[in-house]
Amino acid sequence: MEIIIADAFSTDHTREIIGLFIHENKELAIKVIDNPKRTIPAAVNLAVNAAKGEFIVRLDAHSIPNTKYIELCINALKTGISECVGGVWDIVPGGQGWMARSIASAAAHPMGVGDAQYRFTNKSSFVDTVPFGAFRKELFIKIGGFNENLLTNEDYEFYTRIRKNHGKIWLDPAIRCTYFSRKDLNALARQYWRYGFWKYRMLMNFPETLRWRQALPPLFVFSIITLLLFSIFFGFSRWVLTYLLACYLIVLIGTSLKSCIKKSDPGLLIGMPLAMACMHFSWGAGFLYSIIRVWFR
């Protein structure tokens, strides 16, 4: 097995830590390459091109694979069940305190992330996307690697091209890794703004891939903004806006109450609604801003 690490000129002693690890594990074939573009798709492309093996297993930051992660990925690919396989995230807090725990719970709940099954399912199935993913290098070269013009959603776009080339994506819950969610609302908002912004850029090439869970946040945010503007002139708009926000809040609190009771964590009753609202509004606003940027450009 060959390990390729693409480093974007880190300033947090990453190179020193890698060097120490290599020194302590001389039996492993580890290669460090530079990523001058300092983006994720560029890093993956560089790493795959530098790899010599038949199979590619991608691993990113914020996560720790379980001990059989690579073995299970390779075994699944060898069965021929699909052209790409991936597993499930066991989402844990990225920091201390009730807010970090709430963000982790929201990031693993369908109310927060829609039908992104790799965040909560325990059933194997064919899906649209998996986290990270494992595939043959031959396939990667055939469909052209990752789109380096997409700084986020590059993996979903890559999997879309796999499916358009008559390939399949297989999700196996036996393949698991621990994923560390964002530690506070500020980091969460930046993450989901970025998701929404680049999702629209990806949809410009593949508009037919839009799913209901991806359309709801921008539609909801657009509705709120429109009702706010109309409420200045029309009293009826204020009633509709109040009713809409009240229903939304009730759904968020009801969802959070179940998690609060199940996990015996009272902090989730306040934290989860805040986290889910942050995810929805940030994603939707980022998506709408991306549309505006494209139109005015």
| pTM for this model (two decimals) | 0.90
Q: Write the DSSP assignment of 59-97 as a string of letters.
A: --TTEEE-TTHHHHHHHHHHHTS-SEEEEEEEEE-SSSS
What gap in Å lies between CA 7 and CA 179, rounded to an integer?
Answer: 20
Mean pLDDT of the chain: 93
Indicate if the pLDDT at residue 119 is higher than 80: yes
> Is pLDDT at 297 greater than 80 in this prediction?
no
Instruction: Give CA–CA dist 9/123, Å, rounded.
Output: 39
User: Does residue 113 have a pLDDT over 90?
Assistant: no
The CA distance from 200 to 297, in Å, is 14
Residue 115 has pLDDT above 80, yes or no: no
pLDDT digits (tens, 9 = 90+) for 213-248: 888 999 999 999 999 999 988 889 999 999 999 999
Q: Quick check: 1 and 74 in contact, CB under 8 A?
A: no
- Give the C-alpha separation, 238 to 71, whole Å: 57
pLDDT, position 116: 80
Domain residue ranges in the chain:
35-296
- 175 CB neighbour count, 10 Å cutoff: 28
- CATH code for the domain defined by 35-296: 3.90.550
Residue 213, pLDDT score: 80
pLDDT surpassing 80 at residue 191? yes
> For the segment 37-91, what is each residue's pLDDT rounded down to a tens digit?
999 999 999 999 999 999 999 998 789 999 999 999 999 999 999 999 999 999 9
